Chains A and B, each alone.
Chain A
Amino acid sequence: MAEFRAPVESYKGKIVEVTIGKGDKAVKIGGENVFAFNQAFDEGSWPNPPKVAVEIWDMEPEGWVKGILDFYGDAVSDPAQWAKKVAEALNPDLIFLYMLSTDPNEKDTPPERAVEVAKAVYEAAGLPLIVYCTGNETKDPQVLQKVAEALSGENLLLGPAIKEDYEPIAQAAKEHGHCLSSQAPIDINLQKELNVKLTRIVPAEKVVMDPLAPCVGVGFEFGFSIFERQKHAGISFGDEMMQMPLLANFSFEVWKTKEAKGNEKMGLMWEEMTAMGYLLAGANLLVVRHPEAYRKVKELIERYKKS
């Protein structure tokens, strides 16, 4: 009798490998030609397990739960100290610096201050850095252009680039050698259009997709579905304009829910479950807030990587 061979699926496309940061600490995401955690079935390769960034702000946190504040202590009053603490205590893959204070509806802090904060954070942490603004189409380009220039050549991940403001941000990323995120609001067709436009300025190896990542209980199913569809378009259908790695930036959403705010233990589970969902949907890069969530999510990825 002939030996039984299990059927092996093979796919047309491969996710682009994107490197963020430089030197020893640089992280690689993407590069897979199979779906999340499917490397065990000999279907293809999954060379870069998902990476996890820890969220900090460019201002003192507001409304954060006690456990996180206790963990960081006084460090949260200064972004650089905060970043240093994150690096020492957690040594995450990346730092996610949220430039919330630059938003005109927040404190409208000037781009010059954002530059100081970004430089100080980058130097203090010594880790690959994601610098994210709030999606304000007039302010974001001003901030991100200055940051790109000040940290020229450091290969940060800048974002978000949206359809209204992608041009100056992409030009700055190109000129100063950074990656950028292509953000389209849960819409695969708009995502593709923006990717097409961005890749006329920078190569796909510099682009990460951010389709928005609503958390569990607040539209997670839409997020899961769009992550899955975008990954399918890239891998199953071989659509080159959908082969950039996926960023799941949900921590802000998780900790905005009243359940998470009111009950830290529940919030922690909320964040972990949301993270797990996006990992299964194909996320290549996650952003988490709670130090304990960071540990749990990393542990989960390590465990699945081995099996």
Chain B
Amino acid sequence: MVIIGENIHILSKKVSEAINNKDAKVIQELAKEQAAAGVDYIDLNIGPARKNPEIMAWLVETVQEVVDLPLSLDSTNPKAVEEGLKVAKWRALINSASGRTDSKEQMMPLAVKYDCDVVISVLNDQGIPADAEARAESIMDTVTYANELGIENERIWVDPIIMPVSVDQKAVAEALEFMKMLQDLLPGVKSTVGLSNVSNGTPKELRGILNRTYMVMLDLCGTYSAIADAFDEELMALAKGKMPEIVELIRKVMEGEDVDPNSLPPKERDYVKTAKVLLGDTLYSHTWLEL
């Protein structure tokens, strides 16, 4: 699975301080560490950046000095994204556009102008669609619009928008269903997810297992990439195919085979229990691993 490292993120105190002080060293260290961990893209998340959209250009140049990886320019502000696109050395990824009118009008044309890839989420003017079918309907409309602008499916990375399992367990399973049907709906599109959102609201020490298990499940449903924590070593190992036995176990659970978690060693047991929660077979509570 293609991994977009999420660790340069404005919500991180360290990152926001480094950006405010234009402290290149901190940013470059984070970029190098993610590259060493094996990520395929580096996400540069600067939030809306209303006051300083030009900061994206600084960030892109700073990172490009030390790593040879394509970048994901992550901002809701088209001005900021364009500043980054102007200086990006490799084909960048716009993260992200959506079916919202302002995004269609201002963000999407940048993918045409700079001939780059673009993440398009299922969000539209009505908000986040409720179920797999509504997501499908929304993304069909938005991608059709993008195609008309001249952005072909192969350059579009569809984002189903992942909900936290502690908030909306049903939506977590729905997103898997949506990913399964995506290639039939829009042949050739790529896809990506904000993986860590699945574990938002879950106690910190339990977030990793949720992220990792869900990533494997998304992968098995045909998802192309995930924006994820590059510093989770096990996650990177799973993404790069180094733990096939865990993937096989999760596949069995997803196909409805009878897997008794309590017959397994602790690590395998946790993956099975977590997969059952993410499928919606077991009701979520913070204590799901203890049952």
Interface residues of A (CB under 8 A from B): 188-193, 196-197, 233, 237, 239, 241-242
- Distance from B147 Cβ to chain A, minimum over Cβ atoms (Å): 40
Q: In whole angstroms, how far apart are the Cα atoms of A188 and B283 in the complex?
A: 8
Q: Which of B282, B283, B284, B291: most chain A CB closer than 10 A?
A: B283
Provide the residues of chain A in CB contact with B291, threshold 8 Å: 196, 241
5 new A-B pairs (CB below 8 Å) besides A189-B285, A190-B285?
A193-B287, A196-B290, A196-B291, A241-B283, A242-B283
Instruction: Say if the beta carbon of B103 comes within 8 Å of chain A.
Output: no
- Asked if B283 and A239 sit within 8 Å, CB to CB, the answer is yes
Q: Which of A189, A193, A197, A233: most chain B CB closer than 10 A?
A: A189
Binding site of B, secondary structure by majority: helix, strand, loop or mixed?
Answer: loop
- Distance from B210 Cβ to chain A, minimum over Cβ atoms (Å): 13
CB-CB contacts below 8 Å: B256-291 with A: 281-287, 290-291
Q: Which of B169, B281, B287, B290: most chain A CB closer than 10 A?
A: B287
- Asked if B282 and A189 sit within 8 Å, CB to CB, the answer is no
Residue of A nearest to B165 (CB): A189
- Asked if B287 and A237 sit within 8 Å, CB to CB, the answer is no
Q: In whole angstroms, how far apart are the Cα atoms of A163 and B166 in the complex?
A: 16
A-B CB proximity, top 4 nearest: A192-B285, A193-B285, A196-B287, A233-B283
Provide the residues of chain B in CB contact with A191, threshold 8 Å: 285
30 contacts between A and B (CB under 8 A): A188-B283, A189-B166, A189-B169, A189-B283, A189-B284, A189-B285, A189-B286, A190-B285, A191-B285, A192-B283, A192-B284, A192-B285, A192-B287, A193-B285, A193-B286, A193-B287, A196-B285, A196-B287, A196-B290, A196-B291, A197-B287, A233-B283, A237-B281, A237-B283, A239-B282, A239-B283, A241-B283, A241-B285, A241-B291, A242-B283
- Distance from A207 Cβ to chain B, minimum over Cβ atoms (Å): 15
CB-CB contacts below 8 Å: B131-172 with A: 166, 169
- Distance from B15 Cβ to chain A, minimum over Cβ atoms (Å): 31
Provide the residues of chain A in CB contact with B286, threshold 8 Å: 189, 193
Provide the residues of chain B in CB contact with A188, threshold 8 Å: 283
Residue of A nearest to B290 (CB): A196
Provide the residues of chain A in CB contact with B282, threshold 8 Å: 239
- Distance from B35 Cβ to chain A, minimum over Cβ atoms (Å): 38
Residue of B nearest to A200 (CB): B290
Provide the residues of chain A in CB contact with B169, threshold 8 Å: 189
Provide the residues of chain B in CB contact with A197, threshold 8 Å: 287
Q: In whole angstroms, how far apart are the Cα atoms of A191 and B166 in the complex?
A: 12
Provide the residues of chain B in CB contact with A239, threshold 8 Å: 282-283
Q: In whole angstroms, how far apart are the Cα atoms of A192 and B165 in the complex?
A: 14
Q: In whole angstroms, how far apart are the Cα atoms of A277 and B291 in the complex?
A: 33
CB-CB contacts below 8 Å: B64-119 with A: none
